[in-house]
A and B are shown apart, each in its own frame.
Chain A
């Protein structure tokens, strides 16, 4: 028991008071203004559908994989989208391996609701053979480092991974047309998913004195704040989801203010994600050119150098 005590992270009384007093003068401990987001960096792995997002100190990795399965009975013509979260113990001393805790389940639900309820991913295009074969898209979110505001970072990681994911092309064949042939990527180019819009999650922290509001709380601020709210909005101004679990009460005026702030931030984050995906796609296309061992291939390589 003592060993566990020795390992957990603690906030001193001095820090708690300082964070609250500094916020009264609109100063945050990392030097940001109350409505400023931390720097977001989006990186991709070599495979399609793997992304790593860094939001300040917070790091989340997203992986998208797909499998052909039987659809649900009540939705025979729709594909399946599922989200799994893994809170690695290396991210935070309080994360334990094994079954996902309350926080992990809540994060998974928020990201899931943002994508599913708003129909961001087109599930009908994932249907190959109605009632028999559909694509089940599985998004795995691994939390690598907890620097605060895991929800936003995980959401961006999921979106970035979905945008760069390519599923194999398949066609119907066989004698009665009931067999599905999955074409390997070398034969037929894999297809991207149809994503209609990008729902961005933006989290707010509320503090008890005079309803102070901050966007994108860090780990220290999360330990001190009185309540949190996550709004999922997209760049068109649609509100996809709102989550406020527990914490102190918030007046209606403050919620409207949050929604307005979120919409303005969502536009810039959407642009950032799209730019990063653009760069990745260009790189991917260039890599394809390099594969051909002809003399024209050599010339392209030299030009790049």
Chain B
């Protein structure tokens, strides 16, 4: 049994591992660069699992552990949906459904300089709004508490607050930033990965054939939907929430059922 653990890494890929399993032995693989994704830890020559799940491998050299939870563990290069909670001098505090708040540097927007920092007020109802508006300096975006942002994780180290950004690696906006209108709901991380997988997830394909809508999926278990009419949004949101534990064929049947009810 012990000998088997140290055999070729392919033996563990796509199989279930538990914390403590040594999934890779680096001494048997020379002069290769390996990228470790979430859930893996390096102990000198042995790579061991830190969470329970399935070990995945993607060419050329990336390994990571996949599992579905309601909580999100931040991982570098993930695209997530965050909610603005507060603003500090240098950072915005963002809630990303993880163990700690994420920090979004004030300059991490396309064309962001100290001159045009996104301004950010606590939303005050009714009559006070007009007074606040005149007092506000018009900035790049108006980020209120509760704004939904599409972000990228830049740094995610254990024990530190993760650092986020509203630009891609080259500094362009590339669809990151605040999302307007629509409706956001929460799912498990496994479902959000399924929604982002290619080929397209059956539930999204079935919905896309009959309805037109826009969707943003965060790997932290948040999904945002926007469409022209409210009932389309409601149908799409409920269909995705229901598809958590259904197989592909069942998802298509469920979507047909839902669409028949509204027509």
- A residues with a Cβ closer than 8 A to B are 2-3, 5-6, 10-18, 21-22, 25, 27-31
**CB-contact partner of A31 in B93, B183, B235, under 8 A:** B235
Are A17 and B184 also in contact (CB < 8 A) when A2-B101, A10-B95, A12-B83 are? Answer: no
**Chain B contact residues, majority secondary structure:** mixed
Establish whether residues B101 and A6, one from each chain, have CB atoms under 8 Å apart when the complex forms: yes
Q: In the complex, which residue of chain A has the Cβ closest to the Cβ of B123?
A: A13
Q: Counting CB contacts under 8 A, is B234 at the interface?
A: yes
- By the criterion of a CB under 8 Å from any partner CB, how many residues of chain B are at the interface? 29
Shortest Cβ distance from residue B121 to the other chain A in the assembled complex, whole angstroms? 12
**CB-contact partner of B85 in A3, A10, A13, A17, under 8 A:** A10
Q: Counting CB contacts under 8 A, is B223 at the interface?
A: no
Establish whether residues A29 and B234, one from each chain, have CB atoms under 8 Å apart when the complex forms: yes
A-B contacts besides A16-B146, A18-B183, 13 pairs, CB < 8 Å: A2-B100, A5-B85, A6-B95, A6-B101, A10-B85, A13-B123, A13-B144, A14-B179, A14-B224, A15-B183, A22-B230, A27-B231, A30-B238
Q: Counting CB contacts under 8 A, is B2 at the interface?
A: no
With A and B bound together, what is the CA distance between A16 and B83 in angstroms? Answer: 13
- B residues with a Cβ closer than 8 A to A are 83, 85-86, 93, 95, 98-101, 123, 144, 146-148, 179-184, 224, 229-231, 233-235, 237-238
Are A27 and B230 also in contact (CB < 8 A) when A6-B100, A13-B123 are? Answer: yes
Shortest Cβ distance from residue A302 to the other chain B in the assembled complex, whole angstroms? 37
With A and B bound together, what is the CA distance between A21 and B179 in angstroms? Answer: 17
**CB-contact partner of B183 in A2, A3, A14, under 8 A:** A14
With A and B bound together, what is the CA distance between A3 and B224 in angstroms? Answer: 25
Are A13 and B230 also in contact (CB < 8 A) when A2-B100, A18-B182 are? Answer: no
**CB-contact partner of A12 in B99, B101, B184, B238, under 8 A:** B184
Q: In the complex, which residue of chain B has the Cβ closest to the Cβ of A6?
A: B101
Are A12 and B147 also in contact (CB < 8 A) when A6-B101, A18-B182, A18-B183 are? Answer: yes
Q: In the complex, which residue of chain A has the Cβ closest to the Cβ of B145?
A: A13
With A and B bound together, what is the CA distance between A17 and B147 in angstroms? Answer: 12
Establish whether residues B146 and A13, one from each chain, have CB atoms under 8 Å apart when the complex forms: yes
Shortest Cβ distance from residue A57 to the other chain B in the assembled complex, whole angstroms? 11
14 interchain pairs, CB-CB under 8 A: A5-B95, A12-B148, A13-B123, A13-B144, A14-B180, A14-B182, A14-B184, A15-B184, A21-B230, A22-B233, A27-B230, A27-B234, A29-B234, A31-B235
Shortest Cβ distance from residue A68 to the other chain B in the assembled complex, whole angstroms? 46
With A and B bound together, what is the CA distance between A27 and B261 in angstroms? Answer: 14
With A and B bound together, what is the CA distance between A3 and B95 in angstroms? Answer: 11
Residues of A within 8 A of B233 (CB): 18, 22
Shortest Cβ distance from residue A16 to the other chain B in the assembled complex, whole angstroms? 7
With A and B bound together, what is the CA distance between A30 and B235 in angstroms? Answer: 8
Residues of B within 8 A of A18 (CB): 181-183, 230, 233
Residues of B within 8 A of A31 (CB): 234-235, 238
Residues of A within 8 A of B98 (CB): 6
Residues of A within 8 A of B179 (CB): 14
Shortest Cβ distance from residue B187 to the other chain A in the assembled complex, whole angstroms? 14
Shortest Cβ distance from residue B76 to the other chain A in the assembled complex, whole angstroms? 19
Shortest Cβ distance from residue A151 to the other chain B in the assembled complex, whole angstroms? 24
Q: In the complex, which residue of chain A has the Cβ closest to the Cβ of B238?
A: A31
Are A14 and B181 also in contact (CB < 8 A) when A21-B230, A27-B231, A31-B235 are? Answer: yes
Shortest Cβ distance from residue A267 to the other chain B in the assembled complex, whole angstroms? 26
Residues of B within 8 A of A22 (CB): 230-231, 233-234
Residues of B within 8 A of A28 (CB): 234
Shortest Cβ distance from residue A73 to the other chain B in the assembled complex, whole angstroms? 51
Shortest Cβ distance from residue B25 to the other chain A in the assembled complex, whole angstroms? 37
Q: In the complex, which residue of chain A has the Cβ closest to the Cβ of B226?
A: A14
Q: In the complex, which residue of chain B has the Cβ closest to the Cβ of A32?
A: B234
With A and B bound together, what is the CA distance between A276 and B77 in angstroms? Answer: 52
Q: Output the residue of B83, B86, B179, B183 with the most chain A CB within 10 A.
A: B183
Q: In the complex, which residue of chain A has the Cβ closest to the Cβ of B97?
A: A6
Establish whether residues B147 and A13, one from each chain, have CB atoms under 8 Å apart when the complex forms: yes
With A and B bound together, what is the CA distance between A136 and B108 in angstroms? Answer: 64
Q: Output the residue of A10, A12, A28, A29 with the most chain B CB within 10 A.
A: A12
Shortest Cβ distance from residue A290 to the other chain B in the assembled complex, whole angstroms? 35
Residues of A within 8 A of B224 (CB): 14
With A and B bound together, what is the CA distance between A76 and B86 in angstroms? Answer: 58
